Structure 1
Amino acid sequence: MEDEIQLSDLQHPTSEVKAVEHSQLPTQSYANSPQDLKSSLAANDSTLTAIPNEVEYPTGIRFTILTISLMLMIFMIALDTTIMATAIPAVTTQFHSISDIGWYTGAYLLPIMALQPSFGKIYSFFSIKYVLLCALLLFETGSLTSALSPNSSIFILGRVVSGVGAAAIFGGGMILISLAVPLHRVALYLSVMSSMYGAAALTGPPIGGLFTSSARLTWRFCFYINLPFGGISVLLMLLAFREPKREKTTLTLKEKIKKMDLTGTTLFISSMVCLFLALQWGGNSIPWSNSKAWGLIVGFGLLLIAFIALQFKLGENATIPPRVFSARSVILAQLIAILLSIGTNTHTFYLAFYFQSAKGLSASASGIRSLPYLLSVTFTELFVGAGVSWTGIYNPFMIIGTAIYIVGCALLCTLQVDTGEGNVIGYQILAGIGFGSSLALCATVLRVNVRDEHIPIAGVLAPFAPMFGGTLAASMGQNIFRRSLVEKLLQSVSPEMALKIVEAGARGGAGVVNEDLKGVVLESYNYAVKRTFWVSAVASGCAFVCTLGLKWKKIEKKRPAAEPAEVVNV
């Protein structure tokens, strides 16, 4: 109770929703044959026929252009995450909004996560190309809004708009790839696509630090940079993408909208918002004993139960048909992706606070020192993707990878202000290898273990789990970070001074105290970062346990047409 009163006294409330994001490794949905594609695109509406049997995978220059277009889209969305990791401390300083760190992340991830299932339906009823083009336009509009934002509220609004666009881009990208890649090349192609995240992760922090450190460019160019990538992606897609032929449906627009399960979508989005707000506010702006906090938790549970009940009632017409989760490995793969994303989202953003707030480094120096983590993720993904394509087995890579991830997460929890650079680099490499060995393969597990008619749903569920993990990380991370920071500061300074330090922002805290108290500020930030990293350590252990439950299954080059799903016995 004492902590809750102190935190309430120090809270700088905001009524706005904020955004910035963390990245997730892009994930895809694939078709094994033209017939698979036919059943998959028609899965949500019997009046829609997907692709004629004679359609083949694109080849030559068209395949190359299509691949480049998709890679640019993934790079753009990933860059929008990683480039901001080193810029967030500067944003909090300019807007005096350190209490909104979680909103900067969550307001972008929340719409991506919540809208993923809905876009599976939208792409079943409407043109893939034009929905994807509208999504790109929406994403660019959100980026421009954030770049021009005069205050924190407009900044967050832009991130929400970008999140909606990114949700549609993810879903469209998954279905687009299903038109181009056979099943036995899933892991390899997924690794190539994921390498775009790696490329963004490598270039994002240094570029973000460079922009942030520049008096002329500032952090706003972290969003302006999205505009040319989006424009090029649109042009290439218009040149190379051919809309799959479908029989004309007799459904009217009103009937299509009715079949999109808007009630289920509303219930699901509402439940996710309740959960996010509960984790965001609980213990910060309001004590956990407050009726508002418990009301949000209860609301989340009731709304989620109502959504699940509705999905069972609607059956195959549901937003998420219950049969998609009839295989144990599908459930575990989603859970592993959530846990791994919680871990690395936490690392990505709070390593920036460690370097800039605890070590007192510049934004550009912080970005450079984050490269070992990102490099190890990128190269490990490519190696593991090739390994799975060669062996056809993913279980050993995921089990060993999560075990290594546990070690890396535990070591990062031991960071001190004076920890040597060699140790920090080594800890990041271990965590990066573990993460890179595991997360991208979750999408492979999902694709291999679902029925062909559920390919579109699997395609949009694949990025849902990482986004959900990222949203949870944003809420839990900010809650623990801020509480720990205040707790440590109050051991050495008055509540008034603690409030002044917190409101000064991550990069300005040491500048508002006397020289003899600067060490206290640095130690307090270090303590808060370490406490926050325990979220990653716990998540990594849970992910390892889940990998042990995955069904051992060899990926065949040609999938049997009537392969049954593994049913969970309850």
Structure 2
Amino acid sequence: MSTHSTTDLSNSDPAKIKQENDTSDLRTEDAEEPHEKQVDNQYLPKAVLIPLCLSLCLCLFMAALDQTIVTVALPRIASDFNALSDISWVGSAFLLTSTAFQGLYGKCSSIFGYKYMILFALFFFLFGSLLCALANGIIMLIVGRAIAGIGGAGIQSMCQIIVTVVCPIQDRGLYQGLIGAAYMVGTAVGPLIGGAFTDHLTWRWAFYINLPIGVVAAVAVSAVLRNQAAPGTTWKERFGRIDYLGTVLLLGWVIAFLLPLSWGGSKYSWNSPVIIALFCVFGVLFIVFVIVQWKFSKEPLMPASIFTVHRNPPLIFAANVFAGMSTMGIMYYVPILFQQGMGNSATTAGEKFIPFMIAIVLSSIISGVIITVFLVYRPITVVGGVLAATGAGLMSLWTRDSNLGTQIGFLIIGGFGFGFFVQGGLFSAQAPVHREDLPVATGLVSFCRSLGGAIGVTIFGTLFNNELLTVLPKHLPNATPTIVAAALAQNEAILSTLPSDTRNAIADANVDALRYVFYAITGLMGAATLLALCTGHVKLTKEDIKQFKEAEEA
């Protein structure tokens, strides 16, 4: 559905799986029937199902809109707060918390009930959006995005889970298609709406818009969805099933990894005690996290069995970290290049970015059809990686005066590449795993992509800022400290008063600095393609494809 979709990382209780069938294979049929019997009594009549689906469409439209509407507003936000060096944290904060919390929603929905969990997600998303809209500084904005990420992690996954549970299997594809269409529409129109708000109202409306949509969605969900918590359990037992230690360790090592990447070379030198200490903390927390997950957790976020069943899953997980870094790098820094490097308005930048999002959606659909018909996925993944790397490499050729055809064309090439790569990689990770592990494998692919996004936005922000510090004096050798500071902070109040030659020199410096971001993305997608080439081919059947789709829905 989306390259940033969230899915449950945790799965069935291991003891229960063992009790059912220790040697179950994803190509056996026996485990299917009990599940259908279990959820038969949860199916809703169409009189309730249709309004529920419409409310879920509203939720997903809002979540998709939020992912793309904010990226176009970032240059204006950086200018208003004089905080270009910290602007990457607006994206990283959201991705960080959504990555850390997405694994809990699927688990908690079966413990506390679907209604409570989607309302929980909507509350945090709307509260975080309100803080962002009212932010009086970059710190408040970053905190708001982090809170919104807690909710954003659950909105997408809970909508998928609810449709799977309450829809009869023969109608499930229709309703999944409807909410998928709502997500695609939100993704496509987000840049355009974000640009219009930024140019004609204020960037704060990129966050305000979530409030009325979210409130209507919450009221609708509350009215039509009944709650079903885990039967025969107390609240204490329900809370006891959550992997608190795993979640805290996950959040800890990701933060300890991102902070030195963000601060290194700007706030602190790379060999400073602070940076070295943070990397050491990251290493310790990561090792402890792996040990706890593989040795002690009863219901781990990342079970060891997924990594040992075949070489495909770990290779694809690593490749999706690189793909997530690359996708978010393009989503966050191409709009900055359009506005700060080419002098476009936010509205124009949003319009020009829409083809990239449409290309991702179309290529995801096309590749899914190809895989379903021909039962091959490895070539799709490799071709996608090559196209994505090629698109990013071509973007590095952009200049301040590049024509519109090369701008749109290169984005379309990259977008098609990312769509093919993500879809093909998902099937590659799913193909060798046992049936009971399909939801976990599917969730880990999304998790790794989200984690890569959080890492990528931070790394590319540091790279851009450091390169801008280097290239700006070359383009403005006689500039005053005030002009240099304004250029580094993207302070439009000062930049708009400068002569056109000076503004053009600053624009050229931005383009040159961002060129290194595209170099990095090209290298990352090249590495991801090599990892995809190292995967093996596990023969698929039509029944396997059906089970994969059901695993994504589950």
The residue type paired with residue 161 of structure 2 is I
Cα deviation digits, residues 103-157 of structure 1 (max 9, x gap): 1111111101122234344334221221121111111111112112222222222
Offset at residue 438 of structure 1 (A): 2.0
| Kept in 2: contact 1:139–1:161 (CA 8 A) | yes
Unaligned runs of 5+ in 1: 1-22, 31-38, 564-570
Q: Please give the residue correspondences for 1:149-548 in structure 2 after superposition, counting only pairs within 5 Å.
A: 149-179=135-165, 196-214=182-200, 217-238=201-222, 241=225, 246-249=230-233, 252-314=234-296, 316-327=298-309, 328-455=311-438, 457-458=440-441, 460-491=443-474, 492-493=476-477, 494=479, 496-497=481-482, 499-502=484-487, 504-505=489-490, 507=492, 510-511=495-496, 513-548=498-533
Cα deviation digits, residues 189-211 of structure 1 (max 9, x gap): 98876654442232111111111
Offset at residue 456 of structure 1 (A): 5.1
Give the Cα–Cα distance (whole angstroms) in 2 for the partners of residues 465 and 523 of structure 1: 35
Which TM-score applies when normalising by structure 1?
0.83
SS of residue matched to 1:284? coil
Among 544, 549, 555, which residue is 2:534 paired with? 549
Unaligned runs of 5+ in 2: 21-33, 549-554
Among 117, 121, 127, which residue is 1:131 paired with? 117
Evaluate the alpha carbon distance shift between residue 441 and residue 59 of structure 1 in structure 2; reply closer, same or farther with a 3 A threshold: farther
Structure 1 match to 2:27: none
Cα deviation digits, residues 215-258 of structure 1 (max 9, x gap): xx311111121123323433454466565675413xx5445434
Deviates more, 1:455-464 or 1:414-423: 455-464
Give the Cα–Cα distance (whole angstroms) in 2 for the partners of residues 92 and 490 of structure 1: 21
| Kept in 1: contact 2:112–2:238 (CA 8 A) | no
Count matched residues: 528
Percent identity between the two aligned chains: 27
| Kept in 2: contact 1:490–1:498 (CA 8 A) | no
**Considering only aligned residues, what root-mean-square deviation do their CA atoms show, in Å?**
3.5
Offset at residue 476 of structure 1 (A): 0.8
Give the Cα–Cα distance (whole angstroms) in 2 for the partners of residues 506 and 557 of structure 1: 57
| Kept in 2: contact 1:346–1:535 (CA 8 A) | no
Give the Cα–Cα distance (whole angstroms) in 1 for the partners of residues 400 and 431 of structure 2: 45
SS of residue matched to 2:538? coil
Structure 1 match to 2:551: none
Which TM-score applies when normalising by structure 2?
0.85
| Kept in 1: contact 2:359–2:416 (CA 8 A) | yes
Structure 2 match to 1:14: none
SS of residue matched to 1:393? coil
Offset at residue 504 of structure 1 (A): 4.3
| Kept in 1: contact 2:99–2:447 (CA 8 A) | yes
Offset at residue 166 of structure 1 (A): 1.2
Evaluate the alpha carbon distance shift between residue 241 and residue 466 of structure 1 in structure 2; reply closer, same or farther with a 3 A threshold: farther
Structure 1 match to 2:131: 145
Structure 2 match to 1:25: 4
Offset at residue 315 of structure 1 (A): 5.2
Deviates more, 1:354-363 or 1:318-327: 318-327
Evaluate the alpha carbon distance shift between residue 192 and residue 433 of structure 1 in structure 2; reply closer, same or farther with a 3 A threshold: farther
Structure 1 match to 2:29: none
Give the Cα–Cα distance (whole angstroms) in 1 for the partners of residues 340 and 385 of structure 2: 29
SS of residue matched to 2:144? helix
Offset at residue 45 of structure 1 (A): 7.7
Cα deviation digits, residues 351-395 of structure 1 (max 9, x gap): 112111111111111111112212222222222223333334322
The residue type paired with residue 437 of structure 1 is F
Give the Cα–Cα distance (whole angstroms) in 1 for the partners of residues 480 and 470 of structure 2: 10
Give the Cα–Cα distance (whole angstroms) in 2 for the partners of residues 387 and 248 of structure 1: 45
| Kept in 2: contact 1:116–1:167 (CA 8 A) | yes
Give the Cα–Cα distance (whole angstroms) in 2 for the partners of residues 156 and 117 of structure 1: 22
| Kept in 2: contact 1:29–1:177 (CA 8 A) | no
Structure 2 match to 1:12: none
Report the structure, 1 or 2, having the larger helix content.
2
Give the Cα–Cα distance (whole angstroms) in 2 for the partners of residues 407 and 509 of structure 1: 37
